[in-house]
Amino acid sequence: MSPPLLDVEDLSLEFRTRQGVVRALEQVSFGIGPGETVGLVGESGSGKSATAYAIMGILDRAARVTAGRAVFRGVDLIGESESRRREYRGRELSMIFQSPRTALNPIRPVGAQIGDALRRHTGLRRAAARRRAIELLDRVQIPDAERRSHAYPFELSGGMCQRVLIALAVIYELKGEASLSGLIEALISASSVVAPYLKALRRSSDSRGPLLRPIFLRRSGHSGQRCCL
């Protein structure tokens, strides 16, 4: 039996507020193995997104992890420095946010934003990164990908913006290395428009190696192989 790709153990988290300390997570544990899809299911405010933020290292300043580990490929992300976590984010761990427009830079074309990430994580030059960005937009089935690459987030529909985030989440795959294996999808309710693209990408990833391994965060229902309540 292969070891878990991501192993979260006894993760506890609290928020400091004006009214006092709020314990948001207490001893949360789950694992996700190679090739497995896991769903975290709970009511609004139950800590699904807070769990993802803690793993990614993007918690609010008022939040503090008080106990637990999140081991990804043998590395405890909770105990790592911000510079080390930054090396994983966007390359081997990515997040598709529930509100895509707020996650994208409103004053930069979407193609340029994908190109920025490609240049940072793959070392591509500007022209090559632009071509790859168009390839990714086409892969997530954005019509007229070359023209849309010049669009700003406010010029795209919400579903298209989510697909841009999906494209950003799988950039490392285009380098030809099976490295993007910890995709965290904070899609509390994936729209009927976006869901088929996620399924198609998972099928594509399965044929190429362990590239796309989501954790779904949902209020009700799940589309994973295993569900954690």
Least confidently predicted of 143-152, 175-184, 213-222: 175-184
Task: Write the CA distances from 119 to 59, 113, 116, 154, 175, integer angstroms.
Answer: 26, 10, 5, 24, 11
- The fraction of the chain above a pLDDT of 90, given in percent, is 33
User: What DSSP line would sit under 97-160, residue for residue?
Assistant: -SSHHHHS-TTS-HHHHHHHHHHHHH---HHHHHHHHHHHHHHTT-SSHHHHTT--GGGS-HHH
Q: What's the rounded mean pLDDT across residues 103-116? A: 94
Predicted confidence (pLDDT) at residue 33 exceeds the cutoff of 90? no
Tens digit of each residue's pLDDT (9 = 90 or more) over 190-201: 445 555 656 655
Residue type, 91: R
Tens digit of each residue's pLDDT (9 = 90 or more) over 134-156: 999 998 889 999 999 999 999 99
For residue 82, give the H/E element and its range: helix 82-88
Angle 114-182-176 from CA coordinates, rounded to 5° = 60
What's the pLDDT score for residue 39? 78
For the whole model, what pTM was predicted?
Answer: 0.75
